[in-house]
Homo-oligomer: A and B are copies of this chain.
């Protein structure tokens, strides 16, 4: 009954098969290998466009920070939610990679930036007022840190507002698959078609060993060379890159990533329904693979005693994360502890 994080799950067997298959013969280093080059076709299919560039890292923190650092200068700021992963959980990686840029933290319910908050922040941007740090990037997270999903309409709306203020739009998609499954949107609809310029496309939490893809869409592609230079400089250009790319290849093939996301979402739905049926209220509407439940202390204690693993969250809820590897029987056992 380990609901601590989707990063606790192992990788899907197909991911390891692909890694194994890539482990043959000599290959060019640093991303010039065949496996990495072949990804372009798969990504083009997934995103329904050829107008992109990509880079892979093994870390979501690295991918976010690299992506942001290409668009936020040291003298600039990134707008993001106060609870965003880049703000709370990355030990200052955006500040480090950007050379001392700032995050401007915005509020809003359910882990989503409020529209009024966004507008107010955009209105304050004044590149001629040298004392304050102007925003250059809007960073959204989908799935949010509260397990909720921005709809395509919301992302499109926010991106349009940001673009109107000459901001670049970044999407932290560490759990993009979960958001897509939940909203029914395609990868294209939720990214470049909605106005996303640069995407951190996470596959680690979905089922890879460690594989995140940074995608630059359209005009953002002019940062390709800078992205690679920054990747090299930060140690995110592994010599034997084929092993990263093989993971992506496996995850993208036949929509495995979406299947695994759907499976994780389904488990979370089952858990949420079970909790609600037992009178437990949820802090947020579950729209992905995470459930935030307002559990009374005695139930928390009982669940822990029964071996359940989960973390308390800000605001008094408990967070439960399901993954592709979460088993039906574990959910059932969890709920039976509650029944007891």
Chain A interfacial positions (CB closer than 8 Å to B): 2, 4-5, 7-11, 13, 16, 19-20, 22-30, 57-63, 65-66, 73-75, 77, 88-93, 95-96, 98-102, 105, 127-128, 130-133, 204-205, 209-210, 225-226, 228-230, 232-240, 243, 325
Q: A8 to chain B: which residues have CB within 8 Å?
A: 26-29
Cα distance A237–B128 in the bound complex, in angstroms = 14
Contact of A75 among B62, B73, B128, B226 (CB under 8 A): B226
**Complex partner residue of A235 from B63, B101, B127, CB under 8 angstroms:** B63
The 8 closest A-B pairs by CB, nearest first: A62-B235, A7-B239, A99-B99, A95-B100, A59-B235, A75-B229, A91-B233, A96-B100
Q: A91-B131, A131-B89, A132-B89 are in contact. Are A11 and B96 (CB under 8 A)?
A: no
Can you list 20 residue pairs at the A/B interface with Cβ under 8 Å? Answer: A8-B29, A19-B19, A30-B130, A57-B235, A58-B238, A59-B235, A59-B236, A61-B232, A62-B235, A73-B226, A75-B229, A92-B100, A92-B102, A92-B233, A98-B100, A99-B99, A130-B232, A131-B232, A210-B239, A210-B240
Q: Which residue of B lies closest to A133 (CB)?
A: B92
Report A113 CB to chain B, min CB distance, Å: 17
Closest to A128 in B: B225
Q: Which of B65, B99, B239, B325 contacts A74 (CB 8 A)?
A: B99
Q: CB-CB < 8 A to A204: which residues of B?
A: 238-240
Give how many copies assemble into the complex.
4
Q: Known A-B contacts: A10-B22, A75-B229. Give 4 more (CB < 8 A).
A: A8-B28, A57-B235, A96-B233, A235-B236
Which chain B residues border A93 with CB–CB below 8 Å?
Answer: 232-235
Are B26 and A233 touching (Cβ within 8 A)?
A: no
**Which residues from B are CB-within-8-Å of A98?**
100
Does A233 lie within 8 Å of B90, measured CB to CB?
Answer: yes
Contacts of A7 in B (CB 8 A): 29-30, 239-240
A65 to B90, CA, bound (A): 19
Determine the chain B residues whose CB is within 8 A of the CB of A4 once the complex forms.
26, 28-29
A234 / chain B contacts, CB cutoff of 8 Å = 62, 93, 96, 234-235
Cβ-closest chain B residue relative to A28? B8
